[in-house]
Amino acid sequence: MLLYLPVCCPGADQPPVILVVGDSLSAAHGIDTEQGWVSLLDKRLQSRSDRYRVVNLSISGETTRAAVAVLDPALPKYRPAVVIVGLGGNDGLRGISLDEMRNNLAYLVSASREQGARVLLLGMRLPPNYGSYYAGKFHEVYKEIAAEQHVSLVPFFLAGVAEDRSLMQEDNIHPNAEAQPILLDTLWPYLEPLLAPGNRDAAGVPAASSMSESSELR
């Protein structure tokens, strides 16, 4: 579990929190933490003098089911202004039921919204060797939840990265350090509008790319 900036109970004098709940893609697996996109986000916000602090609760290997237990106590503790949900890859790669994944993701989004947070959902894709039907249904889950709950969606978080082996680590699963700024730039146009005070969630629409070969995120 990685935390950026000292963490304490939020109060009137504390900057609003951006809470990141994800798996190894957000936990800087295989690279220095400071090189990960979450750390780069923190630095970008500081350079813009945005009054936010980033709390990263991402864990390598995390599934949507396990993340529920992480998010439930975190919401009242941090009272985040924005929650970034980057999960589902491990569910899909392990062949976990799409219904279970969908229910868990829907809960993570709705619980965050009920706490008053604006939500950004990071969409994922599965490689074609998982079967076009399952892979297609897997990707549709993100679009359905975003539409139903009126939250912003990055259609494919690894767009422009998963297809380029030079941007992947040797396992061809995890993006390398060079890819991290690209990941941040991919989600930034969807996140930035949510940082404006009083702004509401809005579903994103741009098209996503397909993912190259992969296996379980660890």
149 found inside a domain: yes
How far is 32 from 170, CA to CA, in rounded Å? 16
Share of the chain above pLDDT 70, in %: 84
- The answer to whether residue 2 sits within a structural domain is no
On whether residue 141 sits in a domain, the answer given is yes
pLDDT in tens, 157-207: 999 999 999 999 999 899 999 999 999 999 999 999 999 865 544 443 333
67, part of any domain: yes
pTM summary value: 0.86
- pLDDT tens per residue, range 11-64: 557 899 999 999 999 999 999 999 999 999 999 999 987 789 999 999 999 999
- The CATH number of residue 133's host domain is 3.40.50.1110
Could you give the number of structural domains in the chain? 1
For residues 37 and 33, give the distance between their C-alpha atoms in angstroms, rounded to a whole number: 9
Active site residues: 24, 171, 174
Give the residue among 103, 43, 34 at the shortest CA–CA distance from 67: 103
Domain limits for position 64 = 15-195
Rounded distance between C-alpha atoms, residue 72 and residue 58, angstroms: 14
76 within a domain of the structure (yes/no): yes
Positive or negative, the CA dihedral 89, 155, 38, 80 is negative
Residue 203 is encoded by which pair of tokens?
A: 């579903």
Q: Does any domain span residue 202?
A: no
Q: Domain for residue 81, yes or no?
A: yes
Three-state secondary-structure class, residue 199:
coil
Residue 7 lies in a domain: no
Q: What is the pLDDT of residue 196?
A: 84
Q: CA-CA distance, 155 to 164, in Å (whole number)?
A: 18
